Amino acid sequence: MLYLAIFLITVLYILYQSPLMVLKKFQDSMTRFAFGKEKPVLVDSFYACTDKLINGTEKDMKDYSNKVLIVTNVASKWGLTKQNYTEFVELSKELREKGLEILAFPCHQFGSQEPGSPEEILKFVEKFDAKDRLVFFEKAHVNGKNTREVFGYLKQELPTEGNDSNDIRWNFTKFLISPDGKPVKRFAPTESPLSFKSDIEELLKEIKKSED
Protein backbone atom coordinates (compact mmCIF):
# COMPACT_ATOMS: atom_id res chain seq x y z
CA MET A 1 0.00 0.00 0.00
CA LEU A 2 2.85 2.37 0.80
CA TYR A 3 4.41 1.87 -2.61
CA LEU A 4 1.04 2.37 -4.29
CA ALA A 5 0.51 5.62 -2.38
CA ILE A 6 3.97 6.88 -3.38
CA PHE A 7 3.27 5.96 -6.99
CA LEU A 8 -0.08 7.79 -7.01
CA ILE A 9 1.42 10.88 -5.39
CA THR A 10 4.17 10.91 -8.03
CA VAL A 11 1.65 10.60 -10.87
CA LEU A 12 -0.49 13.38 -9.44
CA TYR A 13 2.55 15.62 -9.06
CA ILE A 14 3.53 15.07 -12.71
CA LEU A 15 -0.02 15.75 -13.88
CA TYR A 16 -0.10 18.89 -11.75
CA GLN A 17 2.97 20.27 -13.50
CA SER A 18 2.38 21.97 -16.83
CA PRO A 19 3.46 19.91 -19.87
CA LEU A 20 6.01 22.62 -20.73
CA MET A 21 7.57 22.45 -17.27
CA VAL A 22 7.83 18.67 -17.49
CA LEU A 23 9.47 19.00 -20.89
CA LYS A 24 11.97 21.53 -19.53
CA LYS A 25 12.88 19.32 -16.60
CA PHE A 26 13.39 16.40 -18.97
CA GLN A 27 15.59 18.56 -21.19
CA ASP A 28 17.63 19.63 -18.16
CA SER A 29 18.18 16.00 -17.20
CA MET A 30 19.33 15.16 -20.71
CA THR A 31 21.72 18.11 -20.67
CA ARG A 32 23.32 16.87 -17.44
CA PHE A 33 23.56 13.36 -18.86
CA ALA A 34 25.10 14.46 -22.16
CA PHE A 35 27.39 17.30 -21.07
CA GLY A 36 27.98 16.84 -17.35
CA LYS A 37 27.24 19.01 -14.35
CA GLU A 38 28.07 22.66 -14.76
CA LYS A 39 30.92 24.08 -12.69
CA PRO A 40 30.37 26.96 -10.23
CA VAL A 41 30.71 30.46 -11.66
CA LEU A 42 33.84 32.10 -10.26
CA VAL A 43 33.57 35.61 -11.73
CA ASP A 44 31.42 38.32 -10.18
CA SER A 45 30.96 40.61 -13.19
CA PHE A 46 30.62 40.38 -16.94
CA TYR A 47 33.75 42.47 -17.42
CA ALA A 48 35.76 39.88 -15.44
CA CYS A 49 35.02 37.25 -18.10
CA THR A 50 37.41 36.27 -20.86
CA ASP A 51 36.99 34.20 -24.01
CA LYS A 52 38.72 33.61 -27.33
CA LEU A 53 37.89 35.21 -30.64
CA ILE A 54 37.29 32.89 -33.57
CA ASN A 55 40.93 33.37 -34.65
CA GLY A 56 42.14 32.13 -31.25
CA THR A 57 43.05 35.52 -29.78
CA GLU A 58 42.11 35.91 -26.12
CA LYS A 59 39.56 38.64 -25.50
CA ASP A 60 38.60 40.38 -22.26
CA MET A 61 34.97 41.39 -21.95
CA LYS A 62 36.10 44.59 -20.22
CA ASP A 63 37.18 45.75 -23.68
CA TYR A 64 33.46 46.26 -24.36
CA SER A 65 32.86 48.62 -21.43
CA ASN A 66 30.49 51.50 -22.17
CA LYS A 67 28.90 49.50 -25.00
CA VAL A 68 25.43 48.01 -25.26
CA LEU A 69 25.94 44.33 -25.95
CA ILE A 70 23.92 41.47 -27.37
CA VAL A 71 25.50 38.13 -26.49
CA THR A 72 24.12 35.15 -28.40
CA ASN A 73 24.96 31.50 -29.15
CA VAL A 74 24.82 31.06 -32.92
CA ALA A 75 24.49 28.14 -35.32
CA SER A 76 24.46 27.84 -39.10
CA LYS A 77 21.85 25.15 -39.70
CA TRP A 78 18.79 26.11 -37.64
CA GLY A 79 15.48 27.12 -39.21
CA LEU A 80 15.70 30.66 -37.78
CA THR A 81 19.38 31.20 -38.55
CA LYS A 82 18.67 33.41 -41.58
CA GLN A 83 16.20 35.61 -39.72
CA ASN A 84 18.52 36.09 -36.77
CA TYR A 85 21.60 36.97 -38.82
CA THR A 86 19.61 39.24 -41.12
CA GLU A 87 18.14 41.18 -38.20
CA PHE A 88 21.42 41.31 -36.29
CA VAL A 89 23.06 42.89 -39.33
CA GLU A 90 20.20 45.38 -39.66
CA LEU A 91 20.64 46.39 -36.01
CA SER A 92 24.39 46.67 -36.44
CA LYS A 93 24.12 48.89 -39.51
CA GLU A 94 21.78 51.26 -37.70
CA LEU A 95 23.10 51.21 -34.16
CA ARG A 96 26.76 50.14 -34.09
CA GLU A 97 28.07 53.68 -34.41
CA LYS A 98 25.87 54.62 -31.46
CA GLY A 99 27.50 51.96 -29.26
CA LEU A 100 25.92 48.56 -30.00
CA GLU A 101 28.12 45.47 -30.32
CA ILE A 102 26.84 41.97 -31.08
CA LEU A 103 28.97 39.12 -29.75
CA ALA A 104 28.37 35.80 -31.51
CA PHE A 105 29.42 32.53 -29.85
CA PRO A 106 29.16 29.50 -32.16
CA CYS A 107 27.87 26.37 -30.41
CA HIS A 108 27.30 22.82 -31.69
CA GLN A 109 25.29 21.54 -28.69
CA PHE A 110 21.79 21.94 -30.10
CA GLY A 111 20.90 19.53 -32.86
CA SER A 112 24.54 19.50 -34.03
CA GLN A 113 23.74 22.60 -36.06
CA GLU A 114 27.16 24.31 -36.03
CA PRO A 115 29.48 21.62 -37.45
CA GLY A 116 31.85 23.85 -39.40
CA SER A 117 35.43 24.96 -38.81
CA PRO A 118 36.13 28.61 -37.95
CA GLU A 119 36.80 29.27 -41.61
CA GLU A 120 33.57 27.59 -42.68
CA ILE A 121 31.54 29.51 -40.10
CA LEU A 122 32.94 32.85 -41.28
CA LYS A 123 32.38 31.92 -44.92
CA PHE A 124 28.78 30.97 -44.17
CA VAL A 125 27.93 34.26 -42.43
CA GLU A 126 29.35 36.30 -45.31
CA LYS A 127 26.08 35.71 -47.17
CA PHE A 128 24.35 37.86 -44.53
CA ASP A 129 27.14 40.47 -44.41
CA ALA A 130 27.61 39.38 -40.80
CA LYS A 131 31.33 38.52 -40.81
CA ASP A 132 32.43 42.09 -40.05
CA ARG A 133 29.19 43.26 -38.41
CA LEU A 134 29.24 40.78 -35.52
CA VAL A 135 32.18 39.81 -33.33
CA PHE A 136 32.70 36.04 -33.62
CA PHE A 137 34.25 33.89 -30.91
CA GLU A 138 35.55 30.33 -30.87
CA LYS A 139 33.06 27.49 -30.98
CA ALA A 140 32.44 26.11 -27.48
CA HIS A 141 29.78 24.88 -25.05
CA VAL A 142 27.13 26.99 -23.34
CA ASN A 143 25.73 24.18 -21.13
CA GLY A 144 27.37 21.45 -19.07
CA LYS A 145 30.77 21.00 -17.46
CA ASN A 146 32.60 22.81 -20.28
CA THR A 147 30.34 25.87 -20.29
CA ARG A 148 32.25 28.95 -21.43
CA GLU A 149 32.73 31.54 -18.72
CA VAL A 150 30.66 34.25 -20.39
CA PHE A 151 27.56 32.06 -20.57
CA GLY A 152 28.05 30.61 -17.12
CA TYR A 153 27.94 34.11 -15.69
CA LEU A 154 25.03 35.33 -17.82
CA LYS A 155 22.90 32.26 -17.05
CA GLN A 156 23.48 32.77 -13.35
CA GLU A 157 22.46 36.42 -13.53
CA LEU A 158 19.46 35.87 -15.81
CA PRO A 159 18.03 32.38 -15.27
CA THR A 160 15.22 31.04 -17.42
CA GLU A 161 12.00 32.70 -16.32
CA GLY A 162 9.54 30.42 -14.55
CA ASN A 163 11.95 27.52 -14.26
CA ASP A 164 14.53 26.33 -11.77
CA SER A 165 17.17 25.84 -14.46
CA ASN A 166 19.57 28.32 -16.04
CA ASP A 167 20.23 26.19 -19.13
CA ILE A 168 20.36 27.62 -22.61
CA ARG A 169 17.41 26.04 -24.45
CA TRP A 170 18.53 26.28 -28.07
CA ASN A 171 20.47 28.26 -30.66
CA PHE A 172 20.23 32.06 -30.64
CA THR A 173 19.35 32.63 -27.01
CA LYS A 174 20.11 36.33 -26.52
CA PHE A 175 21.34 38.36 -23.56
CA LEU A 176 21.15 42.15 -23.51
CA ILE A 177 23.83 43.93 -21.47
CA SER A 178 23.90 47.58 -20.40
CA PRO A 179 26.83 49.99 -20.91
CA ASP A 180 27.96 49.38 -17.32
CA GLY A 181 28.17 45.61 -17.88
CA LYS A 182 24.93 44.65 -16.16
CA PRO A 183 22.92 41.80 -17.75
CA VAL A 184 19.48 43.35 -18.30
CA LYS A 185 17.26 40.93 -20.22
CA ARG A 186 17.30 37.40 -21.61
CA PHE A 187 15.43 36.54 -24.81
CA ALA A 188 14.36 33.11 -25.99
CA PRO A 189 15.67 31.60 -29.25
CA THR A 190 12.36 32.30 -30.98
CA GLU A 191 12.39 36.01 -30.06
CA SER A 192 13.79 37.91 -33.02
CA PRO A 193 16.51 40.57 -32.60
CA LEU A 194 14.27 43.34 -33.91
CA SER A 195 11.60 42.49 -31.34
CA PHE A 196 13.69 44.12 -28.62
CA LYS A 197 15.10 47.03 -30.62
CA SER A 198 13.39 49.53 -28.32
CA ASP A 199 15.18 47.98 -25.32
CA ILE A 200 18.51 48.44 -27.11
CA GLU A 201 17.75 52.05 -27.95
CA GLU A 202 16.87 52.82 -24.32
CA LEU A 203 20.22 51.47 -23.18
CA LEU A 204 22.06 53.40 -25.89
CA LYS A 205 20.71 56.59 -24.32
CA GLU A 206 22.81 55.79 -21.25
CA ILE A 207 25.96 55.98 -23.37
CA LYS A 208 24.93 59.38 -24.73
CA LYS A 209 24.22 60.67 -21.21
CA SER A 210 27.66 59.61 -20.00
CA GLU A 211 29.30 61.44 -22.92
CA ASP A 212 27.38 64.70 -22.38
Is 160:82 a contact under the CB 8 Å cutoff?
A: no
Query: pLDDT category, 37, cuts 50, 70, 90?
Result: confident
| Count, residues in the chain | 212
pLDDT surpasses 60 at 209: yes
Task: State which H helix or E strand residue 148 sits in.
Answer: none
Helix-helix angle 197-211:81-95, to 10 degrees: 30
pLDDT, one tens digit per residue, over 39-98 is 788 899 999 999 999 999 999 999 999 999 999 999 999 999 999 999 999 999 999 999
Looking at per-residue pLDDT, the higher value among 34 and 150 belongs to 150
The mean of the pLDDT values for the chain is 87
| Nearest-angstrom CA–CA distance, 139 and 146 | 12
pLDDT, one tens digit per residue, over 101-125 is 999 999 999 999 999 999 999 999 9
pLDDT surpasses 70 at 12: no
pTM here? 0.85
Query: pLDDT category, 23, cuts 50, 70, 90?
Result: low
Query: pLDDT category, 3, cuts 50, 70, 90?
Result: very low
